[in-house]
Structure 1
Amino acid sequence: MPSLLDRLPDIARFCSLAGLIIFNSLAYYASPYRPLDDDLLRFNIGASIYLAFIYRWAASTRQMTRDFDHALVERTPIRVCERILAATGSYVVVANFAVAMAKSLASTIKELSDQGSYNTIRGTYESLSWVYHSSGRNCDTTAQQATIAGAIKEDLNDVNGNKLCGTECLRMDHGGTWDRWLKIGPTANFKSNAYCGPSLTFSSCLSGGNNDI
């Protein structure tokens, strides 16, 4: 939904044309004094009505284009990059709860995004622990919750083969300034103090989220 400020140019154009229609109609039908030739007045009235309809149609078309572009952005896959921070000899199989965990994390991430929050939060799910925070100029995203969940699930299932062997750092971005950092690993040996942030480099990335859940 566009803001009032975004709609001001369209409103101003429409009001100007409406004023021209009213002025020319009064001059033609109501005023005994003719400031302009009758043919010219009729032309002005017709042209103003035509332009009013054209501008209204153009405004509707622009809004439809904005809505369509926004919908495309919402469905744009999320890029997830992974880096192992600490490997261990044991692992946790996540096949039975990867989808449920991805949905739970995505709900939390989307809620913080909608609030514009940079807060660091942490938690556990089954036998995994995680820490999440954001960075960048803006901390909100147009990504749908299902897209975020799908990207996390795809990393857990497809990249890690349904198991986690250590503490990992996941970098998620959706274009623009949106950067999210998810540190995740087995609770038994989770490295809660390991760095997971913008200074890290990543060699493994995937693009996912659409139709993955």
Structure 2
Amino acid sequence: MVNAGKIVSSLFAFGLVGRCCADYDGTNQTVTYLPIVEEWDGEGSNMTVTFDLVNADYVWLYNDTNTLTKRTGIDTVVAAASVITAATSVIIAANSALNIYDFIADVIKSKSNANSCTMTYGTDSDGTYFEGYAYEATTTGSNCDTTAEKKTILGAVEKCANRLHSRGATRGCCTFSYGGTWTGHLRLTAEPVKYPVTSVTC
């Protein structure tokens, strides 16, 4: 029979333990990891709870593989930001327009899959916010693609939006690099009719 008291005590334990320690050595691809172990001596318990689970998004850090070195993110640089006093809107922060930025990340990944260096632009909306966007890739090699996964690209798009938002920019541009020959150029504008993305260069 299941001891209900132990179940409640185990659930309560989640709020009491501290965080674990994990140091990742990117050069040697090694991880030094110490799981959390906490003990409680309470009435009818005397239990030990060990937490040593790794989120699935970070499992690759622990894999010993001979494939290409994984990167944790895309380098994102704000190349241009226009603060326009006559404008009524600024570029929306990522947490307020996630669907829009997810769509833009899909566009970027699709362009990469098609090995396309052409510019794509338009306007997207989540029903509340409107954002104008333009995206193109450049390369110093022969291909305009990136090995970055869609979720990594989304992280870069969100970082770009947040940085432009924090500067109060109505329009702006960020460049993305992932350690290869590919460079992504993302232009955003909060007022696509009055201040179109085609007027932003980076």
Same fold by TM (over 0.5)?
A: yes
> In the alignment, is the contact (CA less than 8 A) between 1:98 and 1:156 conserved in 2?
no
Cα gap change, 1:158/1:87 in structure 2, threshold over 3 Å: closer, same or farther?
Answer: closer
Whether 2:188 is the aligned partner of 1:184: answer yes
Match of 1:154 among 155, 159, 165: 159
State the partner residue of 1:131.
134
Of structures 1 and 2, the larger Rg is shown by 1
Alignment of 1:8-157 (within 5 A): 65-67=65-67, 69=68, 72-73=70-71, 76-89=72-85, 90-92=88-90, 94-95=92-93, 97-126=96-125, 127-136=130-139, 137=141, 138-157=143-162
Amino acid paired to 1:168: G
Identical amino acids, percent of aligned pairs? 25
Q: Which has the higher strand share?
A: 2
What's the C-alpha RMSD, in Å, of the aligned pairs?
2.4
* 1:193 maps onto 2:189 in alignment: no
Q: Give the count of matched residue pairs.
A: 129
Structure 1 runs (4+) deviating above 4 angstroms are: none
Unaligned runs of 5+ in 1: 1-63, 198-213
Residues 91, 165 of structure 2: 8 Å contact kept: no
Partners of 2:97 and 2:154 in 1: how far apart? 10
Counterpart residue type for residue 92 of structure 1 = V
Structure 1 residues 106 and 157, CA gap change in structure 2 (3 angstroms): same
Change (3 A) 1:164 1:188: farther
**Which structure would you say has the larger RCO, counting Cα contacts within 8 Å and 6 or more residues apart?**
1
Report the residue type matching 2:180 in the other structure. Answer: G
Change (3 A) 1:102 1:65: same
Q: What is the rounded CA distance, in whole Å, between the counterparts of 2:84 and 2:145 in structure 1?
A: 34
**In proportion to residue count, which structure has more helix?**
1
SS at match of 1:183: strand
Q: What displacement does 1:130 show?
A: 1.0
Q: 1:166: which partner in 2? A: 170
Cα–Cα, structure 1 residues 164 and 145, in superposed 2: closer, same or farther, change >3 Å? Answer: farther
Distance in 1 (CA, whole Å) between partners of 2:164 and 2:83 is: 15
Residues 40-96 of structure 1: CA deviation (Å, up to 9, x unaligned):
xxxxxxxxxxxxxxxxxxxxxxxx7333x35x14xx310111133533123236246
Cα gap change, 1:193 to 1:94, in 2 (>3 Å): closer
Q: What 5-or-longer segments of structure 2 have no aligned partner?
A: 1-63
Q: 1 CA distance for matches of 2:123 and 2:89? A: 16
The answer on whether the counterparts of 1:141 and 1:174 sit within 8 Å (CA) in structure 2 is yes
